[in-house]
């Protein structure tokens, strides 16, 4: 419309300048009629032009959308092609977690082709379990060996487990211990177990204790559980129900069914605690609910033995761990140079996030009290406590530097 108005105004101005006033009315009348026809034609042409432009624009939009979609697909494809081995492994792990094993296999395979050790190990795990691919211990072993050559801790550990299954215990120990020494918590637990039972290595309770502690300090409930077993049995440590129960309770607080199971046994038999069939049943039932077969067996035995009625309704077992009081107990024990108890109390409370216990645990390592002296470990625990605002830990941290 603006364009039409401009044409119209220019044409009228030109006529006014060229014709005499006498004829202007007639000419202007004729001109107005002609101009009206021209305006209608112009408007019609303009409408057709606008419609054509609109259609072109719409077609252009459709083509643009298709082009953009194609560009996105191309970009995604290019992105997929440029993914690193670590990125491919992570995508595979996401699919694996979602139980989309086909996609997991594809990403793990691509990661493995790039020499990514984590991807190679994960591919081996699929072959070992037969998820999406045909089960093959031979291919699993090949993958684990390739990952182990790169010092991948899970590859070393899994290779060790295969050797263990085949009865080659010394080779099993060698690979699993290597993973443990590289910091793998499950490897540390297994190494402790092999030392404890002399599997592939000479039995050594002190070494078992060392590796169980390493795993527990990394937050492994298996580590706490096994420290509890050593304390209850008096292997490598003085026999102590107090320490054993604290370790076992901490493992249960970390949702380990084995911890509930052992606590049930202690209450059933009255070892270290006052005998209580109801509490025992509650712990056994909890373990059973978590899939612990021994827990179910023990619970059923209590029913059949008449220790609890058939219609007994189990309650949620109580796990009382007052970390402040536990820390105070640790300080009391340290004052008497009972460092095993001090360590047990501090470690459990530190795992529960108690800053004071973390500081005290750092002190044990700084002074080598009941543990091997380690400035690195001391710094680790001092920092954890200092980050929570513990002023003593902050000063101790500065002193280390």
Quick one: residue 116, left, alpha or beta (phi over 0 = left, psi -120 to 50 = alpha)? beta
Going by pLDDT thresholds of 50, 70 and 90, the confidence category of residue 338 is: very high
The structure's pTM equals 0.78
| Residue at 48 is within a domain | no
- Name the domain count of the chain: 1
Which residue segment(s) compose the domain that 356 sits in?
323-400
| Residue at 25 is within a domain | no
- Cβ count near 292 (within 10 Å): 21
CA pair distance 267, 343, nearest whole angstrom = 24
| Residue at 9 is within a domain | no
| Residue at 107 is within a domain | no
Alpha-helical regions (H) of 254-390: 257-269, 277-289, 293-304, 323-335, 339-351, 355-367, 375-386
| Residue at 385 is within a domain | yes
Question: In CATH, what number is assigned to the domain containing residue 353?
Answer: 1.25.40
Using alpha carbons only, give the angle 218, 220, 224 rounded to the nearest 5 degrees. 110
The string of pLDDT tens digits covering residues 233-250 is 999 899 999 999 999 999
What is the pLDDT at residue 320?
84
The string of pLDDT tens digits covering residues 57-74 is 555 555 556 656 565 555
| Residue at 327 is within a domain | yes
| pLDDT at residue 373 is higher than 80 | yes
- Token pair, residue 167, equals 């009865």
| Residue at 234 is within a domain | no
| Residue at 379 is within a domain | yes
In the chain, the percentage of residues whose pLDDT exceeds 90 is 79
CA pair distance 253, 36, nearest whole angstrom = 92
């Amino acid at each position: 419309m603006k364009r039409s108005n401009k044409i119209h105004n220019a044409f009228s101005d030109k006529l006014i300048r060229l014709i005499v006033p006498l004829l202007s009315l007639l000419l202007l009348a004729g001109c107005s009629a002609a101009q009206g026809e021209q305006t209608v034609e112009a408007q019609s042409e303009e409408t057709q032009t606008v419609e054509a432009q609109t259609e072109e624009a719409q077609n252009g939009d459709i083509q643009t959308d298709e082009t953009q979609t194609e560009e996105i697909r191309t970009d995604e494809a290019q992105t997929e092609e440029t993914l690193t081995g670590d990125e491919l492994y992570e995508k595979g792990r996401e699919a694996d977690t979602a139980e989309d094993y086909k996609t997991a296999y594809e990403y793990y395979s691509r990661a493995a082709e790039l020499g990514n050790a984590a991807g190679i190990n994960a591919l081996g795990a699929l072959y070992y379990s037969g998820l999406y691919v045909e089960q093959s211990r031979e291919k699993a072993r090949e993958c684990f060996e390739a990952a182990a050559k790169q010092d991948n801790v899970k590859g070393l550990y899994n290779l060790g487990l295969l050797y263990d299954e085949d009865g080659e215990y010394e080779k099993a120990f060698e690979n699993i211990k290597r993973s443990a020494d590289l910091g793998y918590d499950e490897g540390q637990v297994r190494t402790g177990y092999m030392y404890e039972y002399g599997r592939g290595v000479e039995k050594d309770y002190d070494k078992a204790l060392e590796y169980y502690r390493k795993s527990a300090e990394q937050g492994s409930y298996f580590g706490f559980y096994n420290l509890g077993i050593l304390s209850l049995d008096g292997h490598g440590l003085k026999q102590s129900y107090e320490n054993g129960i604290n370790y076992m309770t901490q493992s249960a607080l970390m949702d380990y069914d084995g911890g509930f199971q052992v606590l049930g046994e202690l209450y059933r038999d009255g070892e270290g605690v006052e005998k209580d069939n109801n509490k025992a049943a509650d712990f056994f039932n909890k373990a059973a609910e978590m899939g612990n077969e021994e827990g179910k067996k023990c619970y059923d035995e209590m029913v059949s033995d008449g220790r609890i009625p058939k219609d007994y309704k189990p309650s949620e077992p109580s796990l009382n761990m007052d970390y402040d009081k536990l820390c105070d107990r640790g300080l009391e024990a340290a004052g008497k140079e009972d460092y095993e108890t001090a360590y047990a109390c501090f470690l459990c409370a530190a795992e529960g996030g108690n800053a004071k216990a973390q500081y005290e645990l750092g002190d044990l390592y700084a002074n080598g009290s009941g543990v091997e002296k380690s400035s690195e470990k001391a710094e680790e625990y001092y920092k954890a406590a200092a980050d929570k605002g513990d002023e003593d830990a902050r000063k101790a941290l500065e002193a280390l530097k």
